[in-house]
Amino acid sequence: DIQMTQSPSFLSASVGDRVTINCKASQNINKYLNWYQQKLGEAPKLLIYNTNNLQTGIPSRFSGSGSGTDYTLTISSLQPEDVATYFCLQHSSRPFTFGSGTKLEIK
């Protein structure tokens, strides 16, 4: 199974800050990496698919990058509504596996 190591597990930042969250795969996942936002009590929402493709309707302050085993989600200017937990998902091979999550709060 491909292990996804996500960091940090917790992040506190100020409104307007640039924020980065990382996922490292235990083997090459060929850019089959998605990022999700999950707010309390809600279903995960797709932000970025296949490393760097912005899902329809998602603000452009969200972006993704990476290749091979290392991937990054960037929020260019943190907004209050971005408070949530963020997960990565590798869908390169079954069993598909998720990162353990990053809880993002506003300072």
Partner 1 sequence: EVQLVESGGGLVQPGRSMKLSCAASGFTFNNYDMAWVCQAPKKGLEWVATISYDGSSTYYRDSVKGRFTISRDNAKSTLYLQMDSLRSEDTATYYCARQWSFDYWGQGVMVTVSS
- Contact positions vs partner 1 (CB under 8 A): 34, 42-46, 49-50, 55, 87, 89, 91, 94-101
Residue 74 beta carbon to partner 1: minimum distance, rounded to whole angstroms: 19
Rounded Cα distance, 52 and 83, in Å: 21
Residue with Cβ nearer partner 1 (18 or 91): 91
Residue with Cβ nearer partner 1 (13 or 96): 96
Report helix, strand or coil for 81.
Answer: helix
Rounded Cα distance, 93 and 12, in Å: 33
Residue 19 beta carbon to partner 1: minimum distance, rounded to whole angstroms: 20
Instruction: Of 65, 85, 83, give the one whose Cα is nearest residue 74.
Output: 65
Residue 41 beta carbon to partner 1: minimum distance, rounded to whole angstroms: 9
Tokens of 50: 């296949």
Residue with Cβ nearer partner 1 (10 or 18): 10
Q: Which residues pair with 12 in a beta bridge?
A: 105
Residue with Cβ nearer partner 1 (19 or 35): 35
